[in-house]
Chains A and B, each alone.
Chain A
Amino acid sequence: MTELLVKNACVIDPLRGINAEVMDIAIRDGKIVEEVSDAAEVIDARGMLTMPGGVDSHTHICGTKVNFGRYMSPEDMRAGRTPRRGPLHATSGYSVPTTYGNSYRYSVMGYTTLLEGAMAPLEARHTHEEFTYTPLQDTMANTLFDGNWGIMEAIHDGDIKRVAAIIAWTLSAVKGFGIKLTNPGGTEAWQWGKNVSCIRDPVPYFEVTPAEIIRSVVEANELLHLPHSVHLHCNNLGTPGNYSCTLGTFGLIPDLNEKRQTLYATHVQFHAYGGSGWKDFCSKSEPIARYVDMRPQIVMDMGQVMFGRTTTMTADGPMEFNLYRLHHEKWSNHDVELETGSGIIPVIYRRKNLVNSIMWAIGLELALLTKSPWQCLLTTDNPNGAPFVKYPEIIGLLMSKKYRDAEFATIHPDTEARVPLPAIERELDWYEIAVMTRAGQARALGIQDLGKGHLAPGADADVAIYPLKIDEVDPSAEYQKVIDGFSRTEYTIKRGRVVARRGDCLVHGTNATFWVKPKVPENYDMGKDPDFIEKFDRYYTVRMSNYPVQEEYLARNRCIETEADL
Chain B
Amino acid sequence: MKVTLAMKPAAKGFIPIEAESIVPKNFLAGTDLLVWRGNRELRLDEVFSVSVEGEADRAEGVEVVLSGETFRLKRVGEYMDGGKITVLGGIGMHCGNFMSGGTIEIHGNADGWLGREMAGGTIICRGDAADYCASGYRGGRKGMKGGTVEVFGHTGDFLAESLAGGTVVVHGDAGDMPGAEMRGGTLVVDGDCSRPAANMKGGSCYVYGTARGMLPTFKKIGTVQHEGRTLIQFAGDLANRGKGNLFVKGYEYLD
Contacts and interface: CB of A to CB of B under 8 A. Distances in A.
Interface of A: 72-76, 78, 328-330
A329 B138 CA distance: 14
Interface in B102-148: 137-141
Classify the interface of chain B: helix, strand, loop or mixed: loop
10 contacts: A72-B139, A73-B139, A74-B137, A74-B138, A74-B139, A75-B137, A75-B141, A76-B139, A328-B240, A328-B241
Given A328-B241, A330-B139, 10 more contacts: A72-B139, A73-B139, A74-B137, A75-B137, A75-B138, A75-B141, A76-B139, A78-B137, A328-B240, A329-B141
Contacts of B139: 72-76, 330
A190 B103 CA distance: 53
A75 B140 contact: yes
Interface of B: 137-141, 240-241
Contacts of A72: 139
Contacts of B141: 75, 329
B253 to A, nearest CB: 25
Contacts of B241: 328
A328 B240 CA distance: 7
Contacts of B138: 74-75
Contacts of A330: 139
Contacts of B140: 75
B18 to A, nearest CB: 16
A76 B140 CA distance: 9
B240 to A, nearest CB: 6
A83 to B, nearest CB: 13
Nearest to A348: B141
Contacts of A75: 137-141
Nearest to B199: A328
Contacts of A74: 137-139
A419 to B, nearest CB: 29
A73 B137 CA distance: 11
A324 to B, nearest CB: 12
Contacts of A78: 137
Contacts of A329: 141
Nearest to B242: A328
A377 to B, nearest CB: 33
A4 B140 CA distance: 48
A229 to B, nearest CB: 38
A486 B45 CA distance: 49
Contacts of A76: 139
Contacts of B240: 328
A78 B117 CA distance: 14
A341 to B, nearest CB: 23
The CB with the most chain A CB atoms within 10 A, among B137, B138, B139, B241, is that of B139
B145 to A, nearest CB: 15
A72 B141 CA distance: 12
Nearest to A77: B139
Nearest to A72: B139
Q: Which of B141, B240, B241: most chain A CB closer than 10 A?
A: B141
